[in-house]
Amino acid sequence: MTDYAGQLRGDGLRVAIAASRFNDFITERLLAGARDGLLRHGVDAGSITVAWAPGAFELPLVAQRLAASGEYDAVICVGAVIRGATGHYEHVAGQCAAGIERVQLDTGVPVVFGVLTTENVEQAVERSGTKAGNKGFESAMTAIEMADLLRQLPKSSD
Ligand code: INI
Protein backbone atom coordinates (compact mmCIF):
# COMPACT_ATOMS: atom_id res chain seq x y z
CA MET A 1 0.00 0.00 0.00
CA THR A 2 1.25 3.47 -0.79
CA ASP A 3 0.23 6.42 1.35
CA TYR A 4 0.82 9.91 0.08
CA ALA A 5 0.61 12.90 2.41
CA GLY A 6 1.95 16.40 2.00
CA GLN A 7 4.22 17.67 4.74
CA LEU A 8 4.63 21.25 5.92
CA ARG A 9 8.05 21.58 4.29
CA GLY A 10 8.38 24.87 2.51
CA ASP A 11 12.07 24.75 1.62
CA GLY A 12 12.66 25.15 -2.10
CA LEU A 13 9.05 26.15 -2.84
CA ARG A 14 8.19 29.17 -4.98
CA VAL A 15 4.85 30.67 -3.99
CA ALA A 16 2.80 33.48 -5.48
CA ILE A 17 0.15 35.34 -3.54
CA ALA A 18 -2.68 37.10 -5.39
CA ALA A 19 -4.21 39.66 -3.04
CA SER A 20 -7.22 41.90 -3.62
CA ARG A 21 -7.25 45.57 -2.60
CA PHE A 22 -11.00 45.72 -1.93
CA ASN A 23 -11.37 45.76 1.89
CA ASP A 24 -7.62 46.14 2.16
CA PHE A 25 -7.75 46.77 5.91
CA ILE A 26 -8.58 43.04 6.04
CA THR A 27 -6.62 41.72 3.05
CA GLU A 28 -3.37 43.34 4.24
CA ARG A 29 -3.71 41.22 7.40
CA LEU A 30 -4.43 38.09 5.40
CA LEU A 31 -1.38 38.78 3.26
CA ALA A 32 0.77 39.27 6.37
CA GLY A 33 -0.57 35.98 7.79
CA ALA A 34 0.16 34.12 4.55
CA ARG A 35 3.68 35.52 4.36
CA ASP A 36 4.32 34.66 8.01
CA GLY A 37 3.08 31.09 7.50
CA LEU A 38 5.31 30.58 4.46
CA LEU A 39 8.41 32.01 6.14
CA ARG A 40 7.88 30.00 9.35
CA HIS A 41 7.75 26.80 7.32
CA GLY A 42 10.93 27.32 5.37
CA VAL A 43 9.90 29.21 2.26
CA ASP A 44 12.63 31.65 1.30
CA ALA A 45 11.55 35.33 1.39
CA GLY A 46 12.97 35.76 -2.10
CA SER A 47 10.72 32.97 -3.39
CA ILE A 48 7.48 34.76 -2.48
CA THR A 49 5.82 36.95 -5.12
CA VAL A 50 2.80 39.18 -4.48
CA ALA A 51 0.40 40.47 -7.15
CA TRP A 52 -2.45 42.87 -6.30
CA ALA A 53 -5.87 42.68 -7.97
CA PRO A 54 -8.63 45.30 -7.61
CA GLY A 55 -11.19 42.94 -6.06
CA ALA A 56 -11.95 39.30 -5.34
CA PHE A 57 -13.75 38.98 -8.67
CA GLU A 58 -10.43 39.57 -10.46
CA LEU A 59 -8.42 37.07 -8.38
CA PRO A 60 -9.02 34.05 -10.66
CA LEU A 61 -7.54 35.80 -13.70
CA VAL A 62 -4.48 36.93 -11.78
CA ALA A 63 -4.12 33.44 -10.29
CA GLN A 64 -4.42 31.91 -13.75
CA ARG A 65 -1.57 34.04 -15.12
CA LEU A 66 0.61 33.21 -12.13
CA ALA A 67 -0.17 29.50 -12.17
CA ALA A 68 0.26 29.13 -15.94
CA SER A 69 3.65 30.86 -15.86
CA GLY A 70 5.29 27.68 -14.59
CA GLU A 71 7.23 29.78 -12.09
CA TYR A 72 5.32 28.81 -8.95
CA ASP A 73 4.64 25.61 -7.03
CA ALA A 74 1.49 27.08 -5.51
CA VAL A 75 -0.64 30.21 -5.69
CA ILE A 76 -2.54 31.64 -2.73
CA CYS A 77 -5.49 33.97 -3.27
CA VAL A 78 -6.39 36.28 -0.41
CA GLY A 79 -9.45 38.51 -0.40
CA ALA A 80 -12.40 39.60 1.68
CA VAL A 81 -15.96 39.54 0.43
CA ILE A 82 -18.21 41.08 3.06
CA ARG A 83 -21.96 40.92 2.57
CA GLY A 84 -22.67 44.21 4.33
CA ALA A 85 -25.04 46.26 2.20
CA THR A 86 -23.92 45.07 -1.21
CA GLY A 87 -26.12 43.11 -3.57
CA HIS A 88 -22.93 41.99 -5.28
CA TYR A 89 -21.95 39.52 -2.57
CA GLU A 90 -23.24 36.23 -4.06
CA HIS A 91 -21.86 37.03 -7.50
CA VAL A 92 -18.44 38.15 -6.32
CA ALA A 93 -17.96 35.35 -3.78
CA GLY A 94 -19.39 32.61 -6.01
CA GLN A 95 -17.49 33.57 -9.13
CA CYS A 96 -14.28 34.01 -7.19
CA ALA A 97 -14.53 30.54 -5.64
CA ALA A 98 -15.54 28.86 -8.90
CA GLY A 99 -12.83 30.66 -10.85
CA ILE A 100 -10.11 29.70 -8.40
CA GLU A 101 -11.15 26.05 -8.48
CA ARG A 102 -11.15 26.12 -12.27
CA VAL A 103 -7.67 27.62 -12.40
CA GLN A 104 -6.18 24.91 -10.24
CA LEU A 105 -7.84 22.14 -12.26
CA ASP A 106 -6.87 23.73 -15.59
CA THR A 107 -3.25 24.36 -14.65
CA GLY A 108 -2.48 21.53 -12.23
CA VAL A 109 -0.97 24.07 -9.85
CA PRO A 110 -2.52 24.26 -6.36
CA VAL A 111 -4.48 27.50 -6.03
CA VAL A 112 -5.66 28.15 -2.49
CA PHE A 113 -8.96 29.87 -1.68
CA GLY A 114 -7.85 32.22 1.08
CA VAL A 115 -10.83 34.48 0.56
CA LEU A 116 -13.01 35.39 3.51
CA THR A 117 -16.73 35.40 2.78
CA THR A 118 -18.45 36.90 5.78
CA GLU A 119 -21.73 38.46 6.82
CA ASN A 120 -20.10 41.53 8.33
CA VAL A 121 -16.86 43.36 9.07
CA GLU A 122 -16.65 41.96 12.59
CA GLN A 123 -16.47 38.37 11.31
CA ALA A 124 -13.82 39.39 8.79
CA VAL A 125 -11.72 40.99 11.55
CA GLU A 126 -12.06 37.83 13.66
CA ARG A 127 -10.73 35.66 10.82
CA SER A 128 -7.85 37.90 9.81
CA GLY A 129 -5.65 37.66 12.86
CA THR A 130 -7.79 38.01 15.95
CA LYS A 131 -9.87 35.43 17.82
CA ALA A 132 -10.68 33.10 14.94
CA GLY A 133 -7.13 32.84 13.58
CA ASN A 134 -5.86 34.13 10.27
CA LYS A 135 -7.19 32.72 7.01
CA GLY A 136 -4.02 33.87 5.27
CA PHE A 137 -1.82 31.81 7.59
CA GLU A 138 -4.09 28.76 7.13
CA SER A 139 -3.90 29.23 3.37
CA ALA A 140 -0.11 29.19 3.51
CA MET A 141 -0.31 25.80 5.28
CA THR A 142 -2.63 24.48 2.57
CA ALA A 143 -0.34 25.78 -0.18
CA ILE A 144 2.74 24.11 1.31
CA GLU A 145 0.93 20.85 1.99
CA MET A 146 -0.53 20.69 -1.53
CA ALA A 147 2.74 21.62 -3.22
CA ASP A 148 4.52 18.89 -1.26
CA LEU A 149 1.76 16.35 -2.00
CA LEU A 150 1.86 17.08 -5.73
CA ARG A 151 5.63 16.71 -5.66
CA GLN A 152 5.08 13.12 -4.48
CA LEU A 153 2.04 12.03 -6.51
CA PRO A 154 2.55 10.35 -9.89
CA LYS A 155 2.68 12.81 -12.77
CA SER A 156 -0.10 12.86 -15.34
CA SER A 157 0.66 10.50 -18.25
CA ASP A 158 -0.73 12.76 -21.02
N1 INI B 1 -14.77 42.85 -4.00
C2 INI B 1 -14.25 42.28 -2.90
O3 INI B 1 -13.10 41.82 -2.93
N4 INI B 1 -14.98 42.23 -1.75
C5 INI B 1 -16.25 42.72 -1.68
O6 INI B 1 -16.86 42.64 -0.58
C7 INI B 1 -16.82 43.32 -2.83
N8 INI B 1 -18.15 43.89 -2.78
O9 INI B 1 -18.73 43.92 -1.69
O10 INI B 1 -18.70 44.31 -3.77
C11 INI B 1 -16.04 43.37 -4.01
N12 INI B 1 -16.53 43.94 -5.13
C13 INI B 1 -15.66 44.30 -6.25
C14 INI B 1 -15.43 43.16 -7.22
O15 INI B 1 -14.53 42.20 -6.65
C16 INI B 1 -14.80 43.64 -8.53
O17 INI B 1 -13.55 44.22 -8.27
C18 INI B 1 -15.67 44.66 -9.28
O19 INI B 1 -17.00 44.18 -9.43
C20 INI B 1 -15.08 44.93 -10.70
O21 INI B 1 -15.07 43.75 -11.49
- Looking at residue 108, its pLDDT comes to 97
pTM: 0.97
Which ligand 1 atom lies nearest to the CA of residue 88?
10
User: How far apart are the CA of 83 and the centre of ligand 1, in A?
Assistant: 10
- Looking at residue 88, its pLDDT comes to 86
Q: Which residues of the chain have pLDDT under 50?
A: none
Residue nearest to atom 12 of ligand 1 (CA): 55
> How does pLDDT run across 20-61, given as a tens digit for each residue?
999 999 999 999 999 999 999 999 999 999 999 999 999 999
- Looking at residue 81, its pLDDT comes to 96
Which residues lie closer than 8 Å to 130 by C-beta, 6 or more apart?
none
- Looking at residue 63, its pLDDT comes to 98
Active site residue 88: yes
- Looking at residue 85, its pLDDT comes to 63
- Best mutation site among 22, 96, 117 for ligand 1 pocket (most ligand atoms within 8 Å of CB): 22
